[in-house]
């Protein structure tokens, strides 16, 4: 990666922000290059030391080609946060073209396969505890746990999945929120996005406003 890209203003240095994004958007892309370049979307649990992500946990369908040779492979995981198009019309001075504002976290590391029932059950329980509360409005249900599964279900499932850990080597969070633009452009963009029916657009509007507040003396 070039030392000049991504530019410094796009890189979010707060490890807590990267962890928060991974928690809010756990369904990430897993990229591998062993055998061939492949990608699969997988829900991940992020483990931390304080607020910095130290390892990730997930599982693949055993028939997925990425599962073969995964143990010891270098991997890239990309957590995608909110994203939105920004039209030149939405700036105070439309002197530059349209673009996308977005946030994401890129995690690089080495995968280790863990073919262990206890590990797999804890992974599924942790995924449920992380994700199911995000859908609490759907109904008043307890968080699902593997202990609720029918007798023998996990034992029958385990030979057909590949649970794994990613030992983290590097983390980079990209936060592209119109930072280089004049304040009047950024406020105008945020105002326009806040009127959108798209949830991601409104989320980026709030993040632009928050970034401006953080910069205020």
Q: 2 falls in which pLDDT band (50, 70, 90)? A: low
Question: Looking at residue 215, what is its pLDDT?
Answer: 86
* Cα–Cα distance measured from residue 174 to residue 84, given in angstroms and rounded to the nearest whole number: 14
Question: Looking at residue 3, what is its pLDDT?
Answer: 63
92 pLDDT more than 70? yes
Percent of the chain with pLDDT over 90: 91
- Residue 26, Cβ neighbours under 10 Å: how many? 19
CB neighbour list of residue 54: distance below 8 Å, 6 or more residues apart? 47, 48, 168
Q: What is the mean pLDDT of residues 13-27?
A: 95
Q: What is the mean pLDDT of residues 186-197?
A: 98
Percent of the chain with pLDDT over 70: 99
Q: 99 falls in which pLDDT band (50, 70, 90)? A: very high
183 pLDDT more than 70? yes
Q: What is the mean pLDDT of residues 99-117?
A: 98
Question: Looking at residue 95, what is its pLDDT?
Answer: 86
CB neighbour list of residue 23: distance below 8 Å, 6 or more residues apart? 46, 130
* Cα–Cα distance measured from residue 132 to residue 155, given in angstroms and rounded to the nearest whole number: 23
Tell me the chain's radius of gyration from C-alpha atoms. 20
Q: What is the mean pLDDT of residues 175-197?
A: 97
Tell me the pLDDT of the chain averaged across its residues.
95
Structure token pair of residue 135: 């859908």
Q: What is the mean pLDDT of residues 126-136?
A: 96
pTM comes to 0.94
Structure token pair of residue 52: 């910095």
Question: Looking at residue 4, what is its pLDDT?
Answer: 81
* Cα–Cα distance measured from residue 171 to residue 168, given in angstroms and rounded to the nearest whole number: 8
Q: 140 falls in which pLDDT band (50, 70, 90)? A: very high
Structure token pair of residue 146: 């593997």
Q: Which segments of 87-216 does DSSP mark as H helices, in order?
A: 117-131, 153-157, 183-194, 199-215
94 pLDDT more than 90? no
CATH of domain 8-85+94-178: 2.30.110.10
CB neighbour list of residue 201: distance below 8 Å, 6 or more residues apart? 82, 84, 193, 194
* Cα–Cα distance measured from residue 120 to residue 105, given in angstroms and rounded to the nearest whole number: 25
Q: Look at residue 159 and give its three-state secondary structure.
A: helix
Structure confidence by residue, pLDDT tens digits, 25-45: 999 999 999 989 999 999 999
């Amino acid at each position: 990666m070039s030392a000049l890209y991504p530019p410094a203003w796009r890189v979010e240095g707060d490890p807590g922000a990267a962890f928060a994004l991974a928690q809010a958007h756990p369904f990430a892309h897993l990229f591998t290059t062993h055998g061939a370049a492949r990608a699969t979307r997988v829900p991940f649990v992020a483990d931390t030391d304080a607020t910095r992500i130290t390892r990730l946990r997930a599982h693949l369908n055993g028939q997925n080609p990425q599962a073969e040779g995964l143990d010891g492979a270098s991997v890239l995981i990309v957590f995608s946060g909110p994203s939105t198009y920004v039209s030149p019309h939405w700036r105070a001075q439309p002197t530059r073209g349209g673009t996308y504002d977005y946030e994401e976290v890129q995690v690089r590391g080495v995968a280790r396969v863990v073919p262990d029932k206890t590990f797999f059950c804890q992974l599924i329980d942790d995924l449920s505890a992380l994700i199911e509360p995000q859908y609490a409005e759907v109904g008043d249900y307890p968080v699902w746990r593997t202990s609720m599964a029918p007798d023998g279900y996990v034992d029958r499932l385990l030979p057909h999945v590949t649970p794994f850990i990613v030992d983290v080597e590097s983390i980079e969070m990209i936060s592209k929120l119109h930072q280089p633009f004049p304040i009047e452009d950024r406020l105008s963009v945020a105002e326009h996005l806040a009127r959108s029916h798209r949830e991601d657009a409104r989320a980026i509007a709030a993040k632009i406003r928050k970034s401006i507040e953080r910069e205020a003396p």
